[in-house]
Structures are given as structure tokens and as C-alpha cells.
Structure 1
Amino acid sequence: MTPPTPKAFPVSWDQFHRDARALAWRLAESGPFEAIVCITRGGLVPAAIVARELEIRMIESVCIASYHDYKSQGGLQVLKEIAPAVKALGDGRGKGVLVIDDLVDTGKTAKVVREMLPNAHFATVYAKPAGRPLVDTFITEVSQDTWIYFPWDLGYAFQPPIRDGAAG
């Protein structure tokens, strides 16, 4: 039996902005937060939107490579650690720090960052079932077999109808 074709979930810039603002709205009740740590690269855009909406000025990044061919997740590689000054905030274990990413998929990246900041509040715009338990706040859950096409990964192109065999 052939494995199912992944479902395509293209997200426009407008939709992503609305979803990231919805995330900020939900997070406003969970703060206050002293800093944001965004997981690059996907967390950069939602972190900027959330930082604006919640008036957070301290923004840090943790750089982790996991998707190496845009389709499959490989081994994780921490390319840049969280700055010691940000790690030292609150209780020194992430209290008062908001971690932002675009998506939690398998949870492998989230697990690595959770180990770095175990008391941080972890938020993503989208969540898949395998990674969802590692996230405190998210906006939209999609099935594990869904591939989200983010606006920064897309150009305008024709999409065949689903009935004609398109992936979704």
C-alpha cells in the first residue's frame, strides 16, 4: 500500500498575519513576558508580529536546523545558542520568556529548546498532533500528514483542483 499523499495547506501573508495576531491576542493573557526567543528561521516572522502586539523589545533567537531539503526532517543541529543574558532572565530557566515558532511538527526542535528553557512559555502559530504536547499556546492544529506552505516559501503558481488529483 502506498503512503498517503501529504495534504497541502498553503498560507498567504494575510492569513499568516491574522493568525500571528490571534496568537498575540491569546498570549496577552499569559504574560507578562520579559523577552521573546524565536526559533529560526520559521519563528522570525511570528516573533516580530507578537513582539509588536505585546510591546516586547527584547528579542533573541536560537538557531536550529532540522529541515534540510524542505520536505523531510533530518538530524537537529544547534547553530546558535540562546544568549546568556536572556537565559538568565526570571528564574534562569525561562520564566518570563516567550518562545515562538511558526510550527511544531514532530516536537524534536521544541524538545531541544524546552531543555534550554524549561520554564518558558512555548507558543506556535500552527501545531501538529505529534508536537502539540510540547506547546503551551497555539492557534491552529493541522493533521500530521499536512504540509504547511508558508508565504515566505511560496511564489504565485497555478494549483490544480483537488478532484484532478492534487495533493490538497
Structure 2
Amino acid sequence: MTAFLDVDVRPILRAGGEPFSVIMAALARLAPGEGLRLYAPFKPVPLFDVMASKGFAHREAELEGGEWEIRFMPDNASLETAEPAADAPGDENWPEPSVHLDNRDLDPPEPMVRILAALEQLAPGQTLHALLSREPVFLFRELSRRGHQWRGGFTPQKEFYQLTVRVQA
């Protein structure tokens, strides 16, 4: 039976906040075999792909008032076939980026379009560095689908998101 860490993002969203970093921080605290139980005021469909890329299957249940409980459980089948995460420890030997993009002033989907187009011009193993105004959650699935690896995170002041992508070797 899976043990769950509960995360309720409803108050964060009602206050106008962005809960993604809270969800990812909770995910990082999970012990092997543990799951994450998320409470949200809407069905967080974009999060399903992000969590699947991290090896989690989900089950969803609609609560009263249109709110949702989503249980993310380790998906052992996907973990066995998943590519190693780009930010895995011991994977520090990435070359300096060949391309630098500043996408902070662009509205979606422009940053994703620019990044994917630039990656098409790079040779296997080369890297691209991009600055974004938000975490590119929809881009991650496409990068995985194309076999690329990535690292990313917000600056300490949470001013913008830095993303480095390595083209499939």
C-alpha cells in the first residue's frame, strides 16, 4: 500500500500564487515508494505529463464543488524504461551552451517554439541555454519525446527560470 504526502495547493491558488515549486519540493521529499496526494481547485491536467515524466502514474477523484484530489503513485513500469533525468547526480560534464536565448519577454507558446527550432540546428551533444519568465512545463514532455536532456530551475530570487538543454547524442 502506498503512503502519501499530502499537498493542498488550493490556498496558494486562491491567493494568486503559483504552486508548482511547492509541488516539486514535496516531490523531492518523498521516500522511495511514497506517493503524493494533491488537492486542487481544478483538474491539473498539465501536471499529469510532468509527473509521468518523473515516473508517477495518477488517479483522480472529483470532490465537492468541482475541486480535485489527485493521487500520484510511483509507476514502476515507467521508472524501468525512463531516461535518466538530466539533473541526475554525476552527470555534470555538459559542454558550454552553443546557443543562448532570452525568452523572458515572450508569451507562450513562443518560448517553446524558439527553443525547439534552435535545438534543431544543434549537433548531438551540444547545449542550449534559455531564460524564461516561467517554468516551461509543456516543453519538458516534448524534450523527452525528442530524446533531449535538460536542467533547469528558478533563480534564487525567483525572477526567472534558467533552462539548459542537451541535444540527444
* Shared fold, TM over 0.5: no
TM-score by length of 2: 0.29
TM-score by length of 1: 0.29
